[in-house]
Structure 1
Amino acid sequence: MSQLFRRKVYSDTDTSTGLLRVLGVWDIVFFGIAAIIGAGSFSSLGEAVFRGGPGVILLYLICGFACGFTALCYAEFASRIPTAGSAYTYAYASFGELIAWIIGWALIMEYSFGNIYVAFSWSDYFTSFLGRIGMHIPDYLTCSYTEAKKAFLNGSENKELLNAWKSAPLIGNLKFIVDVPALVINGLITWLCYVGVKESKNFNNSLVILKLGVIILVILVGFAYINTDNWTPISPTTGTPSFMPNGFTGVMSAVSGVFFAYIGFDALSVLSEETKDPQKTLPKGMIISLVLCTVIYIALTLVLTGMVDYKKFDGVGDPLSFIFEKTNANVAWMELVVSFVAIVAITTVLLVFQMGQPRIWYAMSRDGLMPQKFLKIHPKYKTPSFATIVTGIVVGIPILFTDKTFILDFTSIGTIFAFVLVCAGVLTLPAKEKIKGRFHLPYVNGKIIFPVIFIGGLIAFYYWQPEFFQTLMNWSDPKDGEFRASIFFFIIINLILCVVTFIKNLSLIPLIGLSSCLYLLTGMSHENWFWFGMWFLIGMFIYFFYGYKNSKLGKELKNS
C-alpha cells in the first residue's frame, strides 16, 4: 500500500533540458489573460447575467476569491518545484504517486475537454461574424450532430440548429452534421503549438494586446449607455427593486459558467520549464493576471447589466456584441468589432489550453506513468511533438459527437477537484527557508482564525436564513435536495478542518483556498459526479495496468 503513495523529491536542479526557457513575467501575464478572458467573458457571461442579474458580480468575486487563494498555493508549489506538470507535479511531491496520477488524469480532462468547449464557442462567433459581413456557411457545417439532434427532439427555438437537422444531407441513414470551423481551428492551433512556444508566445502576446484594447473600448463606449435603473430591476418574487432579482440562489446557479472563465490560470504553471527563473517569474505572473482578469470581469458585468435588462440575455451566446445591436444600444460598428475580437479572444484560450495538455503528458511520461513516446521532443522546434499531435486528435474527435453543455459541466468538476488537492497539498509541505527574490507563501496561523471565520459565518448565515437550516436534511426535495446534501457534507468537512487546524496549527491561506473550492463543488449535480467517477475509473484502470508497473520512481526504489 505504501508504494501507491511513494513521493517524488524535486530539487532546484531537477529540471529537464529539452525545452527552451524563453518566457518572462509579462509573457506569463499575457498567457494568463489569454486563458482566463475568453470563452467566459465572450460567451457564458450572457447566461450568467440572465440567471443572477446584476448581482452576478458577487459570483465573480466569490470565484475570484477562491481562485486567488488557490493561485497562491500554485505559486508556492511553483516556487519549490520548477518542472512541468502543474498540479500533477505538485501532488507527486506532497501526496504521492497515486494521488498525482488522479490529478494528472483530471487535468487531462480539464485541458482536452475544456478545449472542446472553447472550440465550439470559437465556431459560434466565427460563423456569426461571417454572417454579419454577408457570408454564410450551411448550418449543418457549423454545429455538432448531438446539438442539432437535441434541438430537434426537444422542440428548441434555435433556428440554426433546427435548420441544420432538417437541411443536412444523408449519408446512408445518417445525417451529415459536423462543426467544420471548430475542427479547423483545432488543427491550426495544434500546428502552432507543434512548431514551438517561441512562435506561440509572440502570436499570443499580439492577440492579447488587441483583445484588451477592445475590451477597454467596450467598457468605455458602453459606459455612456448605462441606465442605472437596470442595476436594480424588479424582482419577480418580491416585486421590489433588487440587485439580485432572483435571489442569492439565482446568483449561485450560474457558478459553473462563471467558474469556467477562471480555470485557465492554472495552465500557467505547466509552462515552468519554458520560463526564465520560474521560481520568481511564475508566481508573480499568475497573481497579476488573476487580479487583472477579475477587475475586467466585474467591469464588463456592470456595463452589460447597466446597458440592457438582465432578462434579455436569455439564450444569448454573444453578449458583448448583443448589447450593441439595434434593439439595444444600436452601435453597428461596435457590434462588428466585438464579434471580430471575440474570435481573437477565444483563439488565445485555445492556444494556452492546447499548450498545457502536451506538457502534462510530457511530465507523466517522464515519470514512467505514461508511454515513453510522449517524451519525444522535436529536434528542430524543441516541443513535445508527439504529445501535441495526440492532443489535437483527442480534442478533434469528440467535436464530432459531443455538445457544449455536457463538456462545460464535465470540465468544471475535474478542475475544481484538482484545485482542492493543490490547496490541501500546501498544508502538508514542510517550512522552507526564505530566499530573497523568490515567492514565499506567508504563514498565518489558522488555529483560532479559521474556526472563528467558519463557525462565525455559519452562525451568521443561520440567523439570516433560518429556514434553510430547518430543511437542510430534506434531501428528497426534487429541486433543492441535492444542494442541501452537498451543503451538509461541506459543513461536516469544514468542521473537521476546524478541529484539525486547532490541533495542528495549519496555515490560514491554503485553508481558505481549500474551503472556498470545496464550496464551489457543492454546485455540482449528481450527473457531474457520475461522469467524473467514470473518468476516474478509466484512469485507475490505466494506472494499475501500466503506470504502477512502469513507474520510474517505483523502479528506483526497488533497485535501492
Structure 2
Amino acid sequence: MKPFLTALIRKKAINDDTRIDHGSGELKRSLGLFSLVMLGVGATIGTGIFFAMAEAVPKAGPAVLWSFVIASIAAGLTALCYAELSSFIPASGSAYSYTYVSVGEFPAYIVGACLLLEYALAASATAIGWSEYLNNFLQHTIGWSIPLHWRSPLMVSGANGLEMHWGNFNLPPIILVSMCCLLLLRGAKESAMVNGIMVLIKIAILVFFSVIAFSAFNSHNFVPFNPHGMLGHTGETGMGIVPAAGTIFFSFIGLDTVATAGAESNNPKRNVPLGIMLALLIVVAAYILVATAAMGAQPVAAFIGQEAGLSAILENVTGQKWPAILLSAGAIISVFSVTLVLIYGQTRILFVIGRDGLIPKVFQTVHPKTLSPVANTLIVSVMVGLIAGFVDSSYLWDMVSMGTLVAFSLVSIGVTVMRLKSPELVRGFTLPFGPWVIPSLSVLACAWIVVGLSSITYTIFAVWIGFAVLGYAIYGIQNSKLALKGT
C-alpha cells in the first residue's frame, strides 16, 4: 500500500519541462510577450461578453456587474498565483505542470482532467455561439438565414430536461473548428500572429459597441438593481449574483492559456507572469465597460434568450443595420480567435501529459518541420467539433467554470506548497503578503463561486473525474515516466 501511495504523490523536478532541444518531442520557442498577452486576451474576451450575458443577466439582473467583479477578483487572485509559479516553472501544461511539481502526480492528473474538460467544452460552447453571429451577419448582408436545422444541436435543453431533435445538426461550429485546426497545424508562431490581429480587431469592435450603447444609456434599466440577492431567494434555484458569477467565470480561462504556452515562450520566466497580468487588466477593463454599456442600453427582460445579443442591442439603439453588421463581423472574427486559442491550449496540455507518459504517446508526437503536435491537434479538433455540432451550449457553460475553478484552486495551493518546500528557489515574481494570504483568498473565492453552480454540474463533474481516476489506474500510474525511472 505504501508504494502505491508514494506513486500517487511522486513529483517532477522543476527542470523536467524546460528543455529547448527541439527534438521530435519538443515544441518551438517562438512566442514573445505581445503574442502571450494576445493569447490570453484572445481566449478570454469574446466568450463572456458576446454570449454569456444572455445566460448571466437573467440570473442576477443588473447586479450581474457585481458578478463580473466577483469573477474578476477570483481570477485576479489566481492570476497572481499563476504569475509566481510560472516565473520559476517555465513549462507548458500550466496548472497541470505546476501541480505535478508542487503537490504530486495524481493531483496533477486530476488537474489535467479538469483542464481538458474546461478547454474542450469552452471551445465547443464558443464555437456554438459563432452560429448566432454568423447567421445575424448573413441575414443583414445578403438576406439569407442558415436553415434552423443546420444551426441547431441534436440534444437541446427543454422544459422536461434533455430533448432529442432528430435531423438537427449545428454546421457552422464544425466549419469554424476545421478552420482553427488547419491554422494550428501550420505552427504556433503563425497561429499567434493571426490571433494577435484578430484580438486587436475585437477590442476595436467592443470599444465601438460601448460608445454607441452608452448613447442610449438609461439608468432605469438598473432598477431594481439586485432582484435575486447573492444566492437567490427561496425557491430561486440557480439565481443570484454568485450563480451568475459561476456562469461567466469560464470566460477567464484565457489567463490559464498564457501559462500553457510556457514551453513556446522565448523568455518564459519574465514573459509568462507579465503576460498573465497584462491580459487580466485588459480583460477586466473590457468586461466591465461592455457589460455596463449593454445593461444601460436595454432592460433585463430583453437579454432572456437573446441571440447575437450585442449586435441586436446596436440595431435597437440606432434603428439601423450597419452597426449590427459591423459588430457581427467583429464577433465572427473574435469568436474565431477564442476558439483557436482554446484548441491550442487543449493540445499543449495533452502534449505535456503525453510526454509525462500518463496518456498514450500519440499526444506528444510533433511534426518534424512545423514542430506542432499534428495527431494531437486532429484528435482535439474532432472531439470539439462533435460536441459543438450535437450538444446545446446551455449544458456546457457551468461545466467549464467547474473545471476552471478546481484547477485554479490547486494552482493557488501549489504556491504555498512550493514556498514551504523550496523557499530557496529564485522566483521572477513573488506574491506579496507571504505564502498564505493571497493563495488562501484565491481558494476561498473559487469555492464561493463553486457553491453557486447547479447540482447537475456536480453530477457530471463527478462522473468525468471518475473516468479520469479509472484512466490513471489502468494506464497512467504504470506508464508514467517517473515510474519507469523508478522514482
Residues 270-312 of structure 1, C-alpha deviations (whole Å, 9 max, x = no match): 1011111101001111111111111111111111111212222
Q: Which has the higher contact order (CA 8 A, sep 6+)?
A: 2
* CA 1:114–1:432: 2 relative to 1, 3 Å: same
User: Which of 302, 313, 327 is the equivalent residue of 2:303?
Assistant: 313
Residue number among 335, 351, 355 corresponding to 2:344 in the alignment = 355
Is the partner of 1:247 in helix, strand or coil?
A: coil
> Which residue of the partner structure matches residue 139 of structure 1?
148
Cα 1:89–1:13 shift into 2, 3 Å: closer
The reply to whether residue 246 of structure 1 matches residue 250 of structure 2 is no
Letter of the 1:323 counterpart: I
How far did 1:154 drift?
5.8
The residue matched to 2:19 in structure 1 has which SS?
coil
The correspondence for 2:183, drawn from 176, 192, 197, is 192
**How far apart, CA to CA, are the structure 2 residues paired with 1:268 and 1:418?**
15
Q: CA deviation at 1:398?
A: 2.4
From 372, 379, 386, give the equivalent of 1:383: 372
The residue that corresponds to 1:206 in the other structure is: 197
RMSD: 2.1
Q: Distance in 1 between matches of 2:387 and 2:161?
A: 24
- Contact 1:66–1:513 (8 Å) recurs in 2: yes
Q: Is the aligned partner of 1:42 residue 2:50?
A: yes
**Cα distance change on mapping 1:60 and 1:13 into 2, 3 Å:** closer
Whether 1:392 and 2:400 are equivalent positions in the alignment is no
Paired residue secondary structure (1:429):
helix
d(CA) in 2 for partners of 1:109, 1:549? 23
Partner of 2:236 in structure 1?
none
- Asked if the contact 2:84/2:431 (under 8 Å) is kept, the reply is no
CA deviations 1:121-149 (Å, max 9, x no partner) are: 112211221122212222111111112xx
C-alpha contact 2:246 2:398 (8 A) present in aligned 1: yes
1:260 aligns with 250
The amino acid that maps onto 1:414 is: G
| Counterpart amino acid of residue 485 in structure 2 | E
Distance apart, 1:257 and its partner CA: 2.5
In the TM superposition, residue 25 of structure 1 has moved relative to its aligned partner by 1.3
Equivalent of 2:326 in 327, 334, 337: 337
- Cα separation, 1, equivalents of 2:257 and 2:113: 14
| Partner of residue 532, structure 1 | 461
Whether the 8 Å contact between 1:47 and 1:316 is mirrored in structure 2 is no
Q: CA deviation at 1:434?
A: 7.7
Distance in 1, matches of 2:186 and 2:45, equals 25
Q: Residue 216 of structure 1 aligns with which residue?
A: 207
Q: Where do 5+ consecutive residues of structure 2 fail to align?
A: 233-239
Identity %: 32
2:482 is matched with which residue? 553
Would you say the 8 A contact 2:248–2:401 is kept in 1? Answer: no
Task: Confirm or deny: 8 A CA contact 2:39 2:254 kept in the other structure.
Answer: no
Q: Give the SS at the match of 1:30.
A: helix
Aligned partners of 1:12 and 1:82 also within 8 Å: no
Letter in 1 for 2:441: I
2:443 to 501, 511, 514: 514
Q: Summarize the Cα distance change of 1:398–1:227 in structure 2 as closer, same or farther, 3 Å threshold.
A: closer
Which whole-Å CA distance do the structure 1 matches of 2:485 and 2:425 have between them? 31
Q: For the residues of structure 2 that align with 1:197 and 1:67, how far apart are their CA atoms? A: 26
Q: In the alignment, is the contact (CA less than 8 A) between 1:45 and 1:257 conserved in 2? A: no
Does the aligned pair in 1 maintain the 2:477–2:483 contact within 8 Å? yes
Alignment partner of 1:76 is 2:84: yes
Contact 2:42 2:195 in 1 (8 A): yes
**How far apart, in 2, do the equivalents of 1:155 and 1:273 lie?**
43
Q: Is the 2:18–2:263 Cα contact (8 Å) retained in structure 1?
A: no
Q: What is the alpha-carbon distance in structure 2 between the residues aligned to residue 155 and residue 357 of structure 1?
A: 30
Aligned residue type for 2:326: V
Select which of 54, 65, 68 maps to 2:73. 65
Q: 1:261, CA displacement in angstroms?
A: 1.7
Whether 1:405 aligns to 2:405 is no
User: In structure 2, what is the Cα distance between the partners aligned to 1:540 and 1:554?
Assistant: 17
1:299 equivalent in structure 2: 289
Shift of 1:317: 2.9
Bigger radius of gyration among the two: 1
- When residues 512 and 223 of structure 1 are mapped into structure 2, their CA distance, relative to the original with a 3 A threshold, is same
Length, aligned pairs only = 468
Q: Deviations over 1:460-485 (max 9, x none)?
A: xxxxxxxxxxxxxxxxxxxxxxxxxx
